[in-house]
Amino acid sequence: MEYFILVLLVIIVVLIGIGLLFYSLPKKLGYPKIAKYLAVIFGCMVFSAGFYLVFEDLFFTKNNAKELVEEQGLTLTEDFELLGNKSMSGIGDYYHTFSLKISESDKQKMILQIKSAKNFKIEKSSSKSLPLYLSENRYFGPKVTQNYETENTFNKAYFKPSGKQGYAPTFRRISISKVDNELTFEDIVE
């Protein structure tokens, strides 16, 4: 927490310094109006970026959800409802999840696609024993996709090493409820 506050303070100081530079340099060169315009434009850009970061979840659309699901190889052909969207981030961590209410037809097509995959497994105890989770090399190696069934869901999980030491790999999971017509997407970076 203290590290986060320190980083935040450094970012604020740097942004204020850049803003002052945008203002003072043109003013000293004899262009006070340009200095004011540059300072206002820079301030608006910083405010907009901060606003977007804080309220990022409000800008998430059904199109964004559809693209993320289809990146995993599952297709939404019928209309669906966005039930919820939440993202959280901290230093080095990012978690994004959303839930969709999908049609029965789309649900059945996705379940059939998951069950007919070559690497499909039934994992009743813990998904942590699947090959996807046993990869020791989080930075280099092949992309791994795992299709599996648990007691309550059908799942398609994707793991892609980052390719660089110190950078987080991509881990995404789509879970389709056996009971409801609900799809849950998770994107986890640790």
Q: What's residue 113's pLDDT?
A: 92
Domain count, the chain: 2
Residue type, 50: G
Global pTM reads 0.69
88 & 180 share domain: yes
19 & 89 share domain: no
Residues 148-169 pLDDT 10s: 988 889 999 888 776 666 666 7
68 & 153 share domain: yes
64 & 156 share domain: yes
> How far apart (Å, rounded) are the C-alpha atoms in residues 133 and 158?
10
Domain residue limits at 174:
60-189
Distance between alpha carbon 66 and the CA centroid of its chain, in Å? 13
Last residue of a domain, one of 10, 29, 54: 54
24 & 44 share domain: yes
> How far apart (Å, rounded) are the C-alpha atoms in residues 168 and 29?
45
Higher per-residue pLDDT: 81 or 6: 81
Q: Which of 188, 146, 185, 186 is nearest to 169 (CA)?
A: 188
Mean pLDDT within 54-81 = 85
What is the three-class DSSP state of 115?
helix
> How far apart (Å, rounded) are the C-alpha atoms in residues 79 and 164?
39
72 & 125 share domain: yes
The residue behind tokens 């506050």 is 5
Contacts of 14 (CB under 8 A, 6+ apart): none
Residues 18-31 pLDDT 10s: 888 888 888 898 98
89 & 182 share domain: yes
Residues 33-60 pLDDT 10s: 998 898 889 888 988 888 776 677 677 8
49 & 69 share domain: no
90 & 34 share domain: no
Strand segments (E) across the chain:
81-90, 93-101, 120-122, 144-149, 153-160, 170-177, 182-189
What is the three-class DSSP state of 96?
strand
Phi, psi values for residue 150, rounded to 5°: -115, -175
